[in-house]
Amino acid sequence: MKDPYAVLGVPRDASDAQIRYAYRQAMREQTSGESPVEVKERQDEVEEAYQALTDPRRRRGDGATAAVQTPEREPAPTLPVLEEAEEKRPRNPFTRMTHKLPRPWRIALDWVLTIAGAVLIVLAIKAWVVNPYRIPSSSMEPTLHCARSDNVASGCEARFSDRVLANRFIYHLRDPNRNEIVVFNTPPKAELECGAGGTFVKRLIGLPGERVREKAGWFYINGKRLNDSSYIKPGRRDDRSGFWIVPKDSYFFVGDNRTQSCDSRRWGSVPRGNLIGPVFAIYWPPNRIHVDTPGPIGATILAVIGGVIVVLVVLGIRKRRRPA
């Protein structure tokens, strides 16, 4: 007879699964122009080759050809069975643990884990990467808007409050810079002086160890006048005077709307440990959308994080489309 490996089209080191699969494929083949007799002869040849290669003593001596003469034969499979169901095991750990459960249960568990994973990712991003904040008062007008109210004296210029994003990780990589707008937790004295505490957004003007002086509404840092004309409107500059020395590892903050800002002039400098991060974007309302340049380090980290999120979303979509 012909070489059984050639008849089934498998290599000599083929596994049992490959031989069974090749046998089923060969039995299913339909060749146009063959007569019923030729079809029967070809199927007999395929059957004989399969019986030869499934003999326990195959590939010994002269190979499978010699084993054809032995009386012991393994019966051929009578029904086609999907190869994946017989030989392949799920590669995904979750699928391996749940593949025996009913399909509705698998789908439900899959959704639960997907949603839980998404929530954990969001919480991790908020804790270590970026966090959104709303501007509640007019202390940073007109740089950051708050929403107008019936109270004309509120000083707000917009219909909606700005929503901003603060970069929570960048101060782990570098020191704060002058003129950055920073989100921070206020010291305890702020609540006593301002009637409110918690999280504030102000502009950083004084660095550790510097001498800060305000004279008739103008600030001087170590004797040099601070150039703040680009973001302070004349009507929002006050006429106060004062002198402060910024302690080590602390920072001095004031609002851009000096006339309505309760800031470091009243409750002192802010320790570095209270700083959350600089504002780098306005994401609401739509007409106010703005993103500052995050610098090479920040841009690289944000790009990596964004890429990870995109990959997770794509994998989730592909998984949803894949049949269970």
Active site residues: 139, 202
Minimal CA–CA distance to 263: which of 165, 207, 196, 218?
196
- The three state secondary structure string of the chain is CCCHHHHHCCCCCCCHHHHHHHHHHHHHCCCCCCCHHHHHHHHHHHHHHHHHHCCCCCCCCCCHHHHCCCCCCCCCCCCCCCHHHHHCCCCCHHHHHHCCCCHHHHHHHHHHHHHHHHHHHHHHHHHHCEEEEECCCHHHCCCCCCECCCCHHHCCCECCCCEEEEECCHHHCCCCCCCCEEEEECCCHHHHHHCCCCEEEEEEEECCCCEEEEECCEEEECCEECCCCCCCCHHHCCCCCEEEECCCCEEEEECCCHHHCCCHHHHCCEEHHHEEEEEEEEEECHHHCEECCCHHHHHHHHHHHHHHHHHHHHHHHHHHHCCC
- Asked if residue 54 lies in contact with residue 8, where contact means CB atoms within 8 angstroms, the answer is no
Residues facing 78 on adjacent strands? none
60: left (phi over 0), alpha (psi -120 to 50) or beta: beta
Nearest to 271 by CA among 177, 201, 187, 192: 187
- Asked if 190 contacts 211 with a C-beta cutoff of 8 angstroms, the reply is no
